[in-house]
Amino acid sequence: MKIAVVGATGLVGNVMLKSLLERSFPFKEVYAVASEKSVGKKIHFNNTHLEVIGMKQAISLKPDIAIFSAGGETSKQWAPEFAKVGTLVIDNSSAWRMEENIKLVVPEVNAHVLSKDDKIIANPNCSTIQLVIALAPLHKKYTIRRVVVSTYQSVTGSGVKAVEQLRNERAGIQGKMAYPHQIDLNCIPHGGNFEDNGYTTEETKLVNETRKILGDQSINVTATVVRIPVFGGHSEAVNVEFENDFDLNEVKKILSEFPGITIQDDPKNNVYPMPKDAHGKDDVFVGRIRRDFSQPNSLNFWVVSDNLRKGAATNAIQIAEYLVKEKLVLNS
């Protein structure tokens, strides 16, 4: 198969290339695609170097799958152009996620919605992916009424400029600012852009994407997004209210048996998920699992995952793997 990674020079694009190798994806050729200013650059890949090519050249090569991580505007402009030549697009931006006719997919949760008719498939927001992985098996068993989630998100979710800001601040260097405030030794309750209702675009994504992936618009979701000075991954404090009561041991068993989840829940020995331990891994880590005694049928837990891997690159590659396995892509 011919695979194009669009946005190959970015943080997520780089991890996508690594993931293709790590997961032994059945590619024949891989094209590194980026904006015109990056054309001609060399990217190390599979003991060789890929020369970065532009969009038009990539389209002319008619890849079987194009995996995008190049921003919403780029995706809106170019994803349909790839689709016109028969390329199946998996897009990591927010451009297509809430389009009614576009599937929004976390393979462990809802890969079954995919079909041969899909030309563009949306990869969810990084914080949504780890959340729905934990929610999906519990919703199936107990039926979720309401979710309250507060995120503690890595600077890597804001791109290279944010990583550089944190590194500069720790080194005492005055540099370009990705955030409106210092991020080192600080927490910023601001992810995305503020909307008229007081919520941010990142918070709204969590609400809308969770409902769409779980296939249930009746679930009430509210979110607060916070940026924190870490590199390793996103963390989330989650409170869930169910229609039905639950047994705590059964909850832990359900979560431990769900694909992609690793339980780290031994507080007596200080075992719980942390971003430094999730860094570089593909699983979603769940811990601090406990009953909420303030209201009936309610549960608290803590979820951590590497936002560049399962929260972006790995999830996109897993979608591609499913398409190949189920013969939903042309050359599979």
Give the number of C-alpha atoms closer than 13 A to the C-alpha of residue 96, restricted to the C-beta side.
24
Three-class secondary structure of residue 182 per DSSP: coil
Active-site residue identified among 112, 187, 190, 234: 234
Do 224 and 151 meet the contact criterion of CB atoms below 8 Å apart? yes
Structure tokens at 251: 């909850």
- Starting at the edge strand found earlier in the chain, the sheet holding 120-122 runs 29-33, 2-6, 65-68, 88-91, 120-122, 103-104
Neighbours of 18 (CB within 10 A): 18
Which residues have a Cβ under 8 Å from the Cβ of 14 and sit 6 or more positions away? 8, 43
Annotated active-site residue 126? The verdict is yes
Which residues have a Cβ under 8 Å from the Cβ of 148 and sit 6 or more positions away? 222, 223, 238, 239, 240
DSSP state, 36? G
CA–CA separation, 31 and 140 (whole Å): 40
Active-site residue identified among 44, 126, 139, 279: 126
* Residue in 74, 70, 72, 68 with CA at minimum distance from that of residue 119: 68
Angstrom distances, CA of residue 167 to CA of 186, 193, 322? 14, 24, 38
Which residues have a catalytic role annotated?
Answer: 126, 234
